[in-house]
Structure formats: C-alpha cells, structure tokens
C-alpha cells in the first residue's frame, strides 16, 4: 500500500535525511521525500498498521531533523 | 515570505545592527566575547541547537555541524588571541553565521517562489462543482461527491471540474493550463469535454462520464505531484556524493588543524597551532555542499515545471535526464504523425463521366450511406450535405469489394479495383497515395476518389526539429501497406520505415533498435496511446501523445504530451537538454570554486570572507542558475 503525506521541511539535505530515516522504520518498504513538492510518499509492508508506522516515521524524522513536520491526516 | 522566513529576516537585521554597534564599542577580553555572543546567539541559536541534537542522535557531518564547529572555533580562536594581548576577530565568527543564514533565507525564498510559480502553472484543481437543485438554483458541491451521469453546470469563467459530455449550451474552452495551447477550443452539445479546461464564454451543462478521482484533472495533478519522486541519476549521485564528501572534508579539516602543528612541533619549530586551526575552520566553511544539494533538485523541479507549462508532463526527473540523451525516436504513424482520420484528398472524374467532382462525390456518398466503415464516413463528411436515404434503394454490399446501389434510379457501384474488374470495366490507376474508391455510374467507369490519412501540419517541422535537437535516427512504424508508409515517410523526411506491422511486430521492431543503440543513448517511442502500451513500456522512454482524456496512455507512458502536436516532443528534448546543461554547469561551477578555495584555504591564502563567498555566494549563484530551468523556450508555450 502506498500513501502520500504533506510535509514541511526547510532544506533539501534535511529532506534527504528524513527519507533515510523513514526508510529504516519497521513496516516501511520504501519511502521517498520530495523537498520541492513538500511531499512524502511511503510504501508500507503488507499487514502494516499504517497509523502506528507513520507515528514511528514521524518520530524517526524528528530525530534527524528537529523542526520537520509530517501531516498525518 | 512565510512567517518562519520573516523571523529569520528579523534576526538577520537585528544581528547585523548589533554587529555594527559593537564595532564602535571599546571592549577587551572576556567582555568583548560576551558582547559578541549576543548577535552570535541571536543569529545562530537554531543552528547550534540542530548541531547539538545531530551529534546526540549520531547525525554528525551535516551543514549545521560544519557551521557550528567553524563559528565556535573562530570565537575560541579570537578569545585566545585577545587573552594573549592581540586583537581578537570575534566579528568573523558572527559574520560567518550571519552570511550563512542570509544564504539559507535567500535559498528558501527562491525555492518557495519557484514552487509557487509551478503550482500556479498547474493550478487546474477545481474547488467545486455546480449542481442544479430542484428549485433551479445552483448549489456548489465538492466535485468528489458528484456521481457518474449527474448533470453539472459550468458558468463562464469557471473550470470544468469533471470529464463529461455537453448536454446543453455551447462555449469556447481555454485549454492552455492543460496543453499550453492558447487557441481556444469550441464545444457544443454532444461533444466530450475534459476537466481542467476553463469555460470562457457560454454556460454549459455537462453530464459527467467519470468520477472526479478518475477525471483527467485528477490524473494530471497526481502525476505532477508525484513526478519529484522518481529521482534522476544525477540527483542520486549528489546524495551519495554528499554522504562521502562531508565526512571527507571534516577529516581533512581535522588533519589540517592537527598535522602541520604537530610536524612543526616535532621539527622543533614554532607550532603555529592557532594559524592552522583557523585555516581548518576556513576550510570547513568553504566545504559546505549546500550549493549542490539544493540546486540540483531545484533544476530538475524547474525543468519539469517548465515542461508542464508547455503541456508536456514528465513523470520524473530520471525521464527528464534520459530525454536529453535521446538519439533514436520511433514513431507510430497513425495518430502521431498523421491525424488518424481519413479524408478525401482528391476527386478525379474520368473523361467518360458527364458530371462535376461534386456530382461524383455525391454518388459515392449516397452509395455508401448505409456503411459505417471509416472510408464511407469520410466520403459523407466530404460531401457535407444531409443525405436523403429514401433515394437510395437496392443496396448490395459485396464484401471485400464495395457496394452497389440504385441512387435516384441511377445504377452506382463504388469500391476497389477488384469491383471494377468484376464489373468488367477499365479503371484508371490513381496518381496519389491512399485508399482509392472507384465509381461506376450506369455501368460506365466514372472516376475515382482518393482517401488518405492526412499528415499533421507540424509533423515535418517536428522531424526537422528533432534532428536539430541531436536525434540521430527517426523511425516510423505502421500497420499500413508499404506504398502509403513510404509516401508518408518520404514527405516527412523520416530515416527509416517499417510497414505492414502487426501490433506485436512493433515491440519486436523496437527491441531490435534497442539492441543497435550504444550505451547511454536513449530510444523514445511516441504513440497516441491507443493499443501501444506494450511498446510504450518497452522503450527507454515512452511518450504518449494527445493524451487528453485517455487514461491508459497517461498511465503507460513516461512522458505525456497533452495535445497531439508532434513538435512538442522536440520541445521536450530541448527543455531537458537545457535543464541538464544547467545541472552540469552547477556541478562543475560549484565543485571548481570549492576545490580552488579549499586549496587556497589550506595554504592560508583564502580568508574567512572568501570562505563565505565559496559557501553562500556559490549557493546563491547556483540557485539563480537553477531557476532558469523554469523558463521554457518562450515562443513555444503559453506559460
């Protein structure tokens, strides 16, 4: 399953760091962050609980980039 | 400017004012340090915080870290000089931070602005749909709530929110947001309309044929928003590069700070450690890779945005990168180079026919009036008048040959040469190329009508433009017979023709060409999206043309041309070439300046001010250069 989230991040490098961090979260198969469109696209593993995975993604991203934001609708 | 950016701007102004004031304040030693710490913290507290958290989380070696180390180091050095009776340069550390923030602010404003520009170009998302209530009043609803088959009302000046068919009214539509085409399109009852177009003149009532999510406008928005996700090799290269580059320069800086003083000390000379530490800090400031990390994605983003304003949708920066290396272009003939509709191109009455060209056409149109074959349709269209079918009797279809009928009591036979042969009549060979309909009237040969698929006006120009853009070979594939194919190819200047192909043969033909090409060369296949999904996906880059309304094509292709102008393909290649040139310029420029400054910094020629230029200055120049990607060749597009 794939989902796209709106994000807020200030610099291109930070977006890269978020991408790296998101990829390492359990339940995430693939993640791409586009700094230009301010979007994060996440592909989840099968049977993954999207809400809890995204919470960990946000946490992981905050760790590498303290003032980033992911809008989990 | 956003709130965040404004805040940074105020901090920059405040810190700059403080620095000017401090310049005239006589202070020494610790007092001076404390005074300079005020503007330093005003301008740099967030960088220091980020660097601190970075280290805590094991994320060292980013630009925050570089800046924090460089400026803190500069402050300590200044304090050391000051305490030893010298004149400490506290201003330098603050200035580095200040200029770094100015550069960041500039970049964030520039990026934000180009993002806005692009979204404005792609501002096709309809906010609402008008549905007529029972009392005849219009009600605005969310387009997602409109069901298939519902009737929506589009007022002049509004965007069409959902694909559908006009049931009432006529108007002209502005399609420029979709196609880059500025000529308005006229629509009236019964015609299909596509969401995203702007209704300019009259009120339209439209019966929807799709849900909002399946409508053209949603598909396009989805495509554009996701285009940033497929990254180009160059982008990935920069990411990998930055991963190795930053630690490498950090260690070099460390070595620069430690090794020479140690060597000096061992050799018994003055170790000069403060000089070398200062050089190491300069080195760090110069090395910041922001110019590359920011400008490369921005260039691709701009290129994709610029292309979409011309009605060219590129699905990812990797395709933009590949487009620039296009050497082979393979066309599907029908619907791509030709219009894909049959038209009467010549009417040639024979000497034995005692009537005009119109007369001949009239007989043909009447005789074929019951047939649904495209050729019969084109005959009726060319005739143009209403056909009174009561005048046509005794219609006899002869499969594979043609048709015989009584038109107003006159015996008419219309069909191919075999029909004439069957009737025992002599016929004239056609001088043009296309499908020939011979006619016999009252058992006498009356002449023929030539019907052909018409070549698009721009096709010839497009082939020439592709050549000019560096394409080495153009190939045309078609299922048509050889004479027609070679005639079309000759007119257009296509290098190679493969005719009489079955749909499966097209894949084979493309595969054969793929084997021929050298590594790094790209093969583009252009089709109209009908039945060529396998070929589209097999080619390096699949381009679907005239995709307005065809979802299958939008999904199968890598690049989508919104209207059916083949010239747009050449334009796409030109845009991609320009974009890649800018990317290369930025890479070479940034790396060259950095390399020179790094060397100068290491040997002590470059001071902190040159270092600031090498960091912030280069970034600003690279970003400005990257923004040029947004501007497509102006004479081509509306945007």
Quick check: is B352 in a domain? Answer: yes
Measured CA to CA in angstroms, residue B354 lies from B407, B437, B439 at distances of 16, 18, 13
pLDDT of residue B638: 42
- Which residues in chain B are closer than 8 Å to A37, comparing Cβ atoms? 115, 225, 228, 301
Q: Cα(B383)–Cα(B343) distance, rounded to whole angstroms?
A: 11
> What is the percentage of chain B residues whose pLDDT exceeds 70?
94
Structural domain boundaries, residue B175: 129-158+162-211
Measured CA to CA in angstroms, residue B36 lies from B47, B71, B290, B509 at distances of 17, 12, 27, 72
pLDDT tens for B22-59 read: 888 888 778 888 889 999 999 999 889 888 888 887 76
Asked if A66 lies within 8 A of B53 by C-beta distance, the reply is: yes
**Which of B104, B289, B297 has its CB closest to that of A35?**
B297
Quick check: is B406 in a domain? Answer: yes
Arch. (CATH architecture) of A2-71: 2-Layer Sandwich (3.30)
> What is the percentage of chain B residues whose pLDDT exceeds 90?
15
DSSP helix/strand/coil, B72: helix
Q: Cα(B445)–Cα(B419) distance, rounded to whole angstroms?
A: 11
Quick check: is B433 in a domain? Answer: yes
Asked if A66 lies within 8 A of B298 by C-beta distance, the reply is: no
Neighbours of B426 (CB within 10 A): 9
pLDDT tens for B169-201 read: 888 888 877 776 667 888 888 888 888 888 888
pLDDT of residue B633: 61
Instruction: Please list the helix, strand and coil fractions of chain A in percent, rounded to the nearest 5, in that order.
Output: 40, 30, 30
- Which residues in chain B are closer than 8 Å to A4, comparing Cβ atoms? 225-226
Q: Do residues A57 and A25 lie in contact, with contact meaning Cβ atoms separated by under 8 Å?
A: yes
CA distance B564 to chain A (A): 28
From A30, which residue of chain B is nearest by alpha-carbon distance?
Answer: B229
Region B142-166: mean pLDDT is: 88
The CATH number assigned to the domain holding B205 equals 2.70.150.10
Alpha-carbon dihedral angle through residues B345, B350, B355, B358, given to the nearest 10 degrees? -10
Sheet strand arrangement including A28-34: A28-34, A39-44, A2-8, A69-71
Question: Which positions of B are catalytic?
Answer: 332
Q: Cα(B633)–Cα(B578) distance, rounded to whole angstroms?
A: 10
Element (H, E) at B155: none
B134-148, B221-235, B272-286: the lowest-pLDDT one: B221-235
Provide ipTM, 2 decimals: 0.73
Q: Cα(A69)–Cα(A71) distance, rounded to whole angstroms?
A: 6
Cβ–Cβ pairs < 8 A, chains A and B: 61
Neighbours of B526 (CB within 10 A): 28
Neighbours of B23 (CB within 10 A): 8
**Which of B46, B57, B239 has its CB closest to that of A63?**
B57
From A33, which residue of chain B is nearest by alpha-carbon distance?
Answer: B229
Q: Cα(B446)–Cα(B440) distance, rounded to whole angstroms?
A: 5
Quick check: is B438 in a domain? Answer: yes
The CATH number assigned to the domain holding B375 equals 3.40.1110.10
Q: Do residues B335 and B528 lie in contact, with contact meaning Cβ atoms separated by under 8 Å?
A: yes
Asked if B226 lies within 8 A of A35 by C-beta distance, the reply is: no
pLDDT band at B537 (very low <50, low <70, confident <90, very high): confident
Quick check: is B388 in a domain? Answer: yes
**Which of A13, A37, A66 has its CB closest to that of B228?**
A37
- Residue identified by tokens 């701009």 is B302
- Which residues in chain A are closer than 8 Å to B301, comparing Cβ atoms? 36-37
In this structure, the strands spanning B473-477 and B496-498 are: parallel
- Which residues in chain A are closer than 8 Å to B293, comparing Cβ atoms? 11-13, 16
pLDDT tens for B473-491 read: 999 988 777 888 888 888 8
Quick check: is B173 in a domain? Answer: yes
- Mean pLDDT score of chain B, rounded to an integer? 84
Q: Cα(B558)–Cα(B570) distance, rounded to whole angstroms?
A: 15
- Which residues in chain A are closer than 8 Å to B115, comparing Cβ atoms? 36-38
pLDDT of residue B580: 93
Q: Tell me, rounded to whole angstroms, the distance of Cα B215 from its chain centroid.
A: 20
Domain count, chain B: 2
Interface of B with A (CB under 8 A): 4, 46, 49-50, 53-54, 57, 59, 62-63, 104, 107-108, 111, 115, 225-226, 228-229, 231, 239, 242, 289-290, 293-294, 297-298, 301
Which runs of E-coded beta strand occur in B249-401? 312-314, 326-332, 338-349, 392-398
For residue B583, give the nearest of B299, B384, B201, B265 by alpha carbon: B299
């Amino acid at each position: 399953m794939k989902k796209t989230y709106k994000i807020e991040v200030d610099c291109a490098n930070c977006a890269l760091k978020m991408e790296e961090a998101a990829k390492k979260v359990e339940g995430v198969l693939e993640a791409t962050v586009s700094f230009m469109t301010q979007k994060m696209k996440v592909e989840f593993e099968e049977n993954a609980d999207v809400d809890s995975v995204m919470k960990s993604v946000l946490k992981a991203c905050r760790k590498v980039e303290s003032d980033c934001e992911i809008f989990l609708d | 400017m956003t709130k965040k950016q404004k805040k940074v701007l105020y901090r920059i102004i405040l810190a700059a004012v403080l620095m000017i004031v401090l310049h005239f304040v006589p202070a020494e030693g610790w007092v001076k340090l404390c005074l300079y710490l005020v503007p330093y913290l005003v301008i740099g507290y967030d960088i220091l915080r980020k660097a601190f958290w970075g280290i805590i989380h094991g994320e060292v070696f980013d630009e925050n870290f570089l800046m924090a180390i460089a400026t803190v180091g500069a402050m300590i050095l200044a304090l050391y000089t000051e305490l030893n009776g010298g004149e400490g340069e506290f201003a330098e550390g603050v200035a580095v931070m200040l200029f770094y923030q100015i550069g960041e602010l500039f970049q964030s404003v520039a990026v934000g602005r180009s993002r806005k520009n692009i979204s404005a170009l792609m501002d096709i998302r309809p906010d609402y749909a008008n549905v007529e209530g029972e009392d005849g009043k219009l009600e605005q609803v969310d387009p997602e709530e409109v069901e298939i088959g519902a009737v929506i009302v589009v007022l002049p000046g509004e965007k069409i929110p959902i694909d559908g068919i006009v049931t009432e009214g006529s108007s002209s539509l502005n399609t420029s947001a979709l196609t880059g085409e500025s000529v308005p399109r006229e629509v009236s009852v019964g015609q299909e309309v596509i969401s995203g177009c702007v209704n300019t003149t009259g009120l339209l009532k439209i019966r929807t044929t799709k849900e909002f999510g399946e409508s053209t406008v949603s598909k396009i928005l989805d495509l554009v928003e996701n285009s940033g996700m497929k990254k180009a090799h160059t982008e990935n290269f920069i990411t990998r590069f930055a991963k190795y580059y930053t630690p490498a320069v950090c260690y070099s800086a460390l070595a620069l700070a430690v090794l020479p003083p140690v060597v000096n000390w061992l050799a018994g000379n003055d170790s000069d450690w403060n000089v070398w530490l200062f050089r190491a800090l300069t080195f760090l400031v110069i090395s910041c890779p922001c110019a590359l990390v920011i400008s490369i994605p921005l260039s691709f983003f701009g290129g994709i945005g610029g292309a979409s304003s011309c009605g060219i949708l590129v699905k990812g920066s990797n395709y933009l990168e590949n487009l620039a290396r296009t050497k082979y272009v393979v066309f599907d003939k029908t619907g791509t180079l030709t219009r894909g509709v049959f038209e009467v191109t010549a009417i040639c009455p024979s000497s034995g026919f005692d009537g005009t060209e119109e007369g001949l056409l009239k007989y043909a149109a009447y005789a074929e009036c019951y047939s649904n074959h495209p050729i019969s349709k084109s005959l009726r269209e060319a005739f143009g008048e209403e056909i009174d079918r009561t005048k046509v009797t005794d219609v006899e279809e002869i499969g594979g040959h043609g048709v015989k009928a009584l038109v107003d009591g006159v015996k008419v036979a219309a069909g191919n040469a075999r029909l004439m042969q069957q009737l025992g009549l002599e016929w004239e060979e056609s001088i043009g190329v296309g499908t020939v309909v011979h006619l016999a009237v009252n058992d006498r040969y009356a002449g023929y009508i030539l019907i052909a698929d018409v070549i698009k006006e721009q096709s010839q120009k497009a082939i020439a433009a592709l050549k000019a853009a560096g394409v080495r070979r153009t190939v045309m594939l078609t299922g048509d017979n050889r004479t027609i194919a070679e005639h079309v190819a000759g007119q257009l200047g296509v290098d190679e023709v493969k005719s009489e192909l079955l749909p499966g043969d097209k894949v084979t033909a493309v595969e054969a060409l793929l084997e021929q090409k050298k590594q790094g060369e790209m093969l583009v296949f252009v089709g109209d999206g009908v039945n060529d999904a396998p070929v589209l996906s097999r080619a390096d880059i699949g381009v679907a043309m005239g995709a307005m309304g065809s979802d299958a094509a939008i999904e199968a292709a890598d690049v989508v041309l919104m209207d059916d102008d083949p010239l747009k393909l050449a334009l796409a290649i030109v845009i991609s070439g320009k974009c890649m040139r800018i990317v290369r310029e930025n890479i070479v420029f940034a790396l060259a300046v950095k390399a020179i400054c790094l060397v100068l910094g290491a040997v002590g020629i470059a001071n902190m001010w040159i270092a600031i230029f090498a960091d912030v200055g280069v970034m600003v120049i690279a970003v400005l250069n990257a923004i040029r990607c947004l501007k497509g060749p102006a004479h081509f597009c509306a945007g």
